[in-house]
Amino acid sequence: MNKIIYFIRESKLARFLIPLGIILIIFGVVFMNSSIKNKDYIKTEATVTNVEVFEEAHRDSDGHDVEATYSVDLKYTVNGKEYNSDLDGVSKYNTGDKMTIYYNPEDPSQITQTKSVIIPMAMIAAGIVAIVGGVLSGMNAVKRYNRMKQQEKEWANGK
């Protein structure tokens, strides 16, 4: 059997895990960069002043239900000055609800809903695990190929 064809057939898991790991690491680094940029943001409480549907609830192409997300207008006060801002893609809130946000102390009009680095770190860790799993799977495919070639030689020699 052709070595390339055998390796392609036997390395399906490796060919899936390695690119997946690379993608997870890239997204994790991007999100980590954003989280680090927001690390000095200060926690405050905002009041929801308006709620609009950002994305309707729907069923995706795989048949999974996707919940609606919302755009909320917020009002909050920093050092006695009132600010209005909005966040898109959040869970359902009602007008008058309180929401914890984080604002940039240098420009309080810049806000975020979270500044956690846990999710980016988990993405990077999952990416590393996927790459290691892919490399190990690829190495096992090479070992299986070498064992098969050795067995073919033994059969050819009548052993």
Q: How buried is 79 (Cβ within 10 angstroms: 0-12 exposed, 13-18 middle, 19+ buried)?
A: exposed
Contacts of 82 (CB under 8 A, 6+ apart): 75, 76
Q: Token pair of 92, please?
A: 């359902």
- Please name the fold of domain 40-114: OB fold (Dihydrolipoamide Acetyltransferase, E2P) (2.40.50)
Chain Cα centroid distance, residue 110: 23
DSSP assignment letter at 159: -
Read off the pTM: 0.61
Whether residue 1 has pLDDT greater than 60: no
Q: Kindly report the CA angle at 24 between 21 and 28, in degrees rounded to 5?
A: 140
Q: Token pair of 93, please?
A: 């809130």
Whether residue 159 has pLDDT greater than 70: no
Q: How far apart are CA 114 and CA 13, in angstroms?
A: 35
Q: What is the mean pLDDT of residues 45-53?
A: 92
Average pLDDT across the chain, whole number: 88
Q: What is the mean pLDDT of residues 33-55?
A: 89
One-letter-per-residue 3-state SS of 32-43: HHHHHHCCCCEE
Q: What is the mean pLDDT of residues 55-69?
A: 86
Domain boundaries, the chain: 1-39+116-159, 40-114
Q: How far apart are CA 6 and CA 159, in angstroms?
A: 24
